[in-house]
Amino acid sequence: MLSACGNRALLKSHVADTISCASMTKARWKGLSMRHCGSCVPCLIRRAAITAAFKKDPTTYTLDNLTARPLNSKKADGEHVRSFQMMARRLAKQPSTARILVYKSGPLSDYPEADVDQYATVFERGIKEVAKLVKPVTVRPT
């Protein structure tokens, strides 16, 4: 979506001012100012989208470098990354499952059945975009 923006210059100049994080206030427990956590689902999607569009993400994250250390799969920062890694592998093995998995977020009963393939394609493209970001990240139980 960011890559297709009609005014990329405006977007690029303001992207750091936007908020995506599901838990902006978590940083205060570490004595930091309010900022994106960097590892929740919205932050991972944000990182992937900004990186795909602009190559560099100017956002300040509590977990700034996803690859600096192994992430704990038993804690939120590792759990969300691991979930995207697993979904990416699942779709790579069976791409046709995207049409089924798109329903995981809820029913699409109020949308025309003919549109479901398009939603599945958006879902698959989104997972692939985030997969590029999280592929080099090591996640394991600690």
Confidence of residue 26 (pLDDT cuts 50, 70, 90): confident
Q: Is the pLDDT of residue 126 over 90?
A: yes
Instruction: Report the alpha-carbon distance of residue 69 to residue 105 in Å, rounded.
Output: 31
Query: Is 62 in a helix, a strand, or coil?
Result: coil
pLDDT reported for residue 142: 86
Q: Residues 52-63: pLDDT tens digits?
A: 999 999 999 999
Average pLDDT over every residue of 67-86? 95
What DSSP character marks residue 10?
H
For residues 59 and 109, is the Cβ–Cβ distance under 8 A? Answer: no
Res. 78: pLDDT tops 90: yes
Give residue-wise pLDDT tens across range 104-122: 888 888 889 889 999 999 9
Burial of 66 (0-12, 13-18, 19+ CB in 10 A): buried
